[in-house]
Chain A
């Protein structure tokens, strides 16, 4: 039976791990390679790096981090943040990333998703959707949550599936950093609408939130703070999910 995945996410800036609270307020807290290794040894099903320096200077630091990590961790590694072009994707894959997540570039030019999924295979193309509640629905934002687009999140999710995305990483901006749980309605709506796996993100504060995320229909749950600050280990999270009859790899 296919298991639900738990994916710890590390926010990386200038080659160091930080964790953003609502996308600002950064705290430096460690070496990403070491952190990733702790997670993979602890049973993480995948590791995710979000490079938050990417659009500015010091971009190349992430390549070094990815290269080192991929020599020590033998579980899938997803890297996102500042990925603009096919060249960027190619470079990250060559450094040892297994999947690349695309956010702003996918919104600006869907062809990047089409072309890259054709060139590298859908399996390595993750489209990251940052969504915020607006009126009766959700609007997507780009540039790390800074720029509103006026685009409806559900329509965009469906479009990305057609363009060849292999997975959708859906982050609720309303919930991110609040530790009050995923935006369950958003996850339910998108998961039931698309036929590709959805990774729920944004808002995890307790292990029950992970349970709720899986119950919403997501195939995987992503969390940063609860693991990064040692509130729970990945293994504790998995044991808890298993105790709630959610299939996980232990």
Chain B
């Protein structure tokens, strides 16, 4: 099996690579590339994302044909795709970080700044927070409700249709922290930095 981590020169993806390789061992081939043919032919795709919504979208746009290839993969081939952090946020129609930026539009919704209640809550939301699993998502197999995951973000994905929400976390309000829509998965937290439980989620995704 081939799992491709999309390398679109945006942010730091070494931790994502290390964690997938740790889980995959020799059983699964982990590719790190922006090569469109390799993405097309792979069994699963991971879309990481760090930095701002705009910088990530710009990064995707910077590689000719990448967005179309990813959209085909996710929406037509319907093969499993996992977005992490801004990778998840980009599923939205629109993001409001820096400037209003059009997203991939795969899961209807918007990405806006976490309401920190006039400074009562510090931003970024950094650290370990518990996730409340609200949907029996395949990537949460053997993950207990209220498990701790590592977060670092100031913006949140607000889906239009709550049925895509797989988990939420409590910080100033209930923040959507995992989504599942058919073959499309996303986590706002960083499974690659969430120790053994995070690696378990990665393992679940690889074994889908």
Inter-subunit contact A75/B122 (CB<8 Å): no
Inter-subunit contact A219/B14 (CB<8 Å): no
Inter-subunit contact A94/B12 (CB<8 Å): yes
Residues of A within 8 A of B15 (CB): 70, 74, 96, 98
Residues of B within 8 A of A120 (CB): 11-12, 50-51
Inter-subunit contact A1/B124 (CB<8 Å): no
B33 within 8 A of A: no
Inter-subunit contact A166/B124 (CB<8 Å): yes
A134 within 8 A of B: no
Residues of B within 8 A of A75 (CB): 150, 193-195
Residues of B within 8 A of A93 (CB): 12, 14
Inter-subunit contact A122/B154 (CB<8 Å): yes
Say which residue of B18, B51, B116, B153 sits within 8 Å of A96 (CB atoms).
B18
Inter-subunit contact A96/B14 (CB<8 Å): yes
B67 within 8 A of A: no
**Known: A45-B128, A195-B122, A197-B122. Is A40-B195 also a contact (CB below 8 A)?**
yes
| CB of A148, distance to nearest CB on chain B (Å) | 30
Say which residue of B116, B151, B153 sits within 8 Å of A195 (CB atoms).
B116
| CB of B206, distance to nearest CB on chain A (Å) | 15
The interface bits of chain B over 143-159 (1 if a CB of A lies within 8 angstroms of the residue's CB, else 0) are 00000101111100000
| CB of B164, distance to nearest CB on chain A (Å) | 24
**Known: A2-B171, A3-B148. Is A74-B22 also a contact (CB below 8 A)?**
yes
A132 within 8 A of B: no
- Which residues of A from 69 to 101 have beta carbons under 8 Å from B? 70-71, 74-76, 93-98
Inter-subunit contact A124/B194 (CB<8 Å): no
Cα of A96 to Cα of B12 in the assembled complex, Å: 8
Inter-subunit contact B193/A195 (CB<8 Å): no
Inter-subunit contact B198/A74 (CB<8 Å): yes
Cα of A167 to Cα of B153 in the assembled complex, Å: 12
| CB of A22, distance to nearest CB on chain B (Å) | 29
Looking across the interface, which residue of chain A has its beta carbon closest to that of B12? A93
Residues of A within 8 A of B168 (CB): none
Inter-subunit contact A95/B128 (CB<8 Å): no
Residues of B within 8 A of A5 (CB): 127-128
Residues of A within 8 A of B180 (CB): none
Cα of A196 to Cα of B122 in the assembled complex, Å: 5
Residues of B within 8 A of A97 (CB): 12
Inter-subunit contact A220/B127 (CB<8 Å): yes
A175 within 8 A of B: no
| CB of B147, distance to nearest CB on chain A (Å) | 10
Inter-subunit contact B50/A123 (CB<8 Å): yes
Say which residue of A3, A118, A195 sits within 8 Å of B127 (CB atoms).
A3
Cα of A196 to Cα of B121 in the assembled complex, Å: 9
Residues of A within 8 A of B192 (CB): 74
B52 within 8 A of A: yes
Residues of B within 8 A of A2 (CB): 125, 127-129, 151, 171
Inter-subunit contact A45/B12 (CB<8 Å): no
B182 within 8 A of A: no
Looking across the interface, which residue of chain B has its beta carbon closest to that of A40? B195
Residues of A within 8 A of B152 (CB): 76, 123, 166
Q: Which residues of A contact B (CB under 8 A)?
A: 1-5, 40, 45, 70-71, 74-76, 93-98, 118-124, 166-167, 195-197, 219-220, 249
Q: Besides the contacts A2-B171, A74-B196, what 15 more A-B pairs have beta carbons closer than 8 Å? A: A1-B129, A1-B130, A3-B148, A5-B128, A45-B127, A74-B15, A74-B19, A74-B193, A94-B12, A96-B15, A120-B50, A123-B124, A123-B152, A124-B50, A196-B123
27 contacts between A and B (CB under 8 A): A2-B127, A3-B127, A40-B195, A45-B128, A71-B22, A74-B15, A74-B19, A74-B22, A74-B194, A74-B198, A74-B199, A76-B150, A93-B14, A96-B15, A98-B15, A119-B55, A120-B12, A120-B51, A121-B51, A121-B52, A121-B55, A122-B154, A123-B153, A166-B152, A219-B127, A220-B127, A249-B128
